[in-house]
């Protein structure tokens, strides 16, 4: 039997939530967790107790501050990229940001300062 990491288990639940979104209740969520090898009862207790609510609210505030209004949204050196991109499109964005960073370094800015410079 192959052992899945915690991250792989969470993504299994994540995918199941989206697949079952029309009929998702506590029972269905518990079953999804169980199928992923997680303790469904513990997951439900944590959800109902609001264990992660503060972190979720903080992430939501950050997203609002950054102008995120949908998913998926990515940031490449501070450049907001919204919507689902193909691998080729995403590669184009990354390559453009790398070229910008290389030009900045070529002008004498230390590489360690590039990210702060392009994101501020």
Instruction: Tell me, yes or no, whether 66 lies in a domain.
Output: no
Q: Given this model, what pLDDT does residue 1 score?
A: 42
| Predicted local confidence at residue 103, as pLDDT | 93
**Cβ proximity of 39 and 33 under 8 Å:** yes
Domain housing 25? 6-51
What pLDDT is attached to residue 70? 87
In the structure encoding, which two tokens stand for residue 53, read together? 């609510």
Task: Report yes or no: 44 and 29 within 8 Å, Cβ to Cβ.
Answer: yes
Evaluate whether residue 12 is within a structural domain. yes
Bridge partners, 118 (sequence order): none
Identify whether 64 is part of a domain.
Answer: no
pLDDT tens track of the chain, all 120 residues? Answer: 445 677 888 888 888 888 887 888 999 989 989 989 889 999 899 999 999 999 999 999 999 998 898 889 998 888 889 988 999 999 999 999 999 999 999 999 998 998 888 776
Instruction: Count other C-beta atoms under 10 Å from residue 33's C-beta.
Output: 21
Whole-angstrom distance, CA of residue 24 vs CA of residue 9: 18
Q: How many domains does the chain have?
A: 2
On whether both 14 and 47 belong to a single domain, the answer is yes
Classified as helix, coil or strand, 23 is helix
Q: How far apart are CA 77 and CA 61, in angstroms?
A: 20
Q: How much is the pTM?
A: 0.62
* 30 occurs within a structural domain: yes
Half-sphere exposure of 35 (CA within 13 A, CB side): 13
Please state the separation of Cα 21 from the chain's center in Å. Answer: 19
* Residue whose token pair is 């995918």: 15
């Amino acid at each position: 039997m192959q052992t899945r990491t915690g991250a792989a288990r969470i993504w299994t639940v994540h995918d199941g939530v989206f697949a079952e979104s029309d009929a998702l209740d506590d029972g269905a969520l518990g079953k999804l967790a169980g199928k992923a090898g997680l303790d469904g009862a513990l997951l439900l207790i944590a959800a109902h107790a609001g264990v992660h609510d503060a972190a979720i609210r903080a992430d939501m505030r950050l997203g609002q501050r950054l102008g995120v209004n949908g998913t998926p949204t990515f940031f490449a050196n501070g450049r907001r990229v919204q919507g689902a991109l193909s691998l080729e499109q995403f590669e184009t964005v990354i390559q453009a940001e790398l070229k910008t960073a290389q030009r900045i370094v070529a002008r004498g800015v230390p590489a360690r300062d590039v990210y702060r410079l392009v994101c501020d």
